[in-house]
Amino acid sequence: MPLSEHEQRLLEQMERALYAEDPKFASSLREASGRRGSPRRMALGVLGFLVGLSLLVTGVAVSQEIVGVIGFVLMLGGAFLTYRAMRAPAAQTTAEDDGSKKSAKSSDGFMNRVEDRWNRRRDEQ
């Protein structure tokens, strides 16, 4: 379910507040989200999984345990590679992108406003 415009703006404000409060932590999060796989890796993982599956079936059919074990290991490796490649990078919208930085005091005010909104919504229900 996609976020509404209001929710997207709130998320962007929270990201900017995080960057203003702790830029080193925000940068480390941003770097970690950028280390994702590519379509080429995903295709390689799927191919590895399929080759491993065929080796596993072949090993069982001809009663060669070592072929089956190699196929199973290749299947696991292919599945892991595909899983890592499928994880899409998060949208990068931080204070660094638009050049504005807030002070820690203004980010505290922002968090208080968000908390107040949350409490009002909870009280209304």
- Cβ neighbours of residue 3 closer than 8 Å, sequence gap 6 or more: 11
State whether 48 and 24 are in the same domain.
no
Residue 94 lies in a domain: yes
Which residues make Cβ contacts (< 8 Å) with residue 39, sequence separation at least 6?
A: 85
Residue 122 lies in a domain: no
Residue 55 has pLDDT above 80, yes or no: yes
Query: Rounded to an integer, what distance in angstroms lies between the CA atom of residue 16 and that of residue 87?
Result: 24
Q: Summarize pLDDT for 79-92 with one digit per residue, the tens.
A: 998 888 887 553 33
Q: What is the pTM of this model?
A: 0.43
Element (H, E) at 48: helix 39-61
pLDDT, tens digit (0-9, with 9 covering 90-100), for 2-32: 778 888 888 888 888 878 887 777 777 666 5
* pLDDT score at 92: 38
Range of the domain at 45: 37-87
Would you call 44 exposed, middle or buried from its count of C-beta atoms within 10 A (0-12, 13-18, 19+)? middle
Q: Does 56 map to a domain? A: yes
In a shared domain, residues 31 and 42: no
Say whether both 45 and 23 belong to one domain: no
Quick one: 13 and 55 in the same domain?
A: no
Instruction: Report the domain count for the chain.
Output: 2
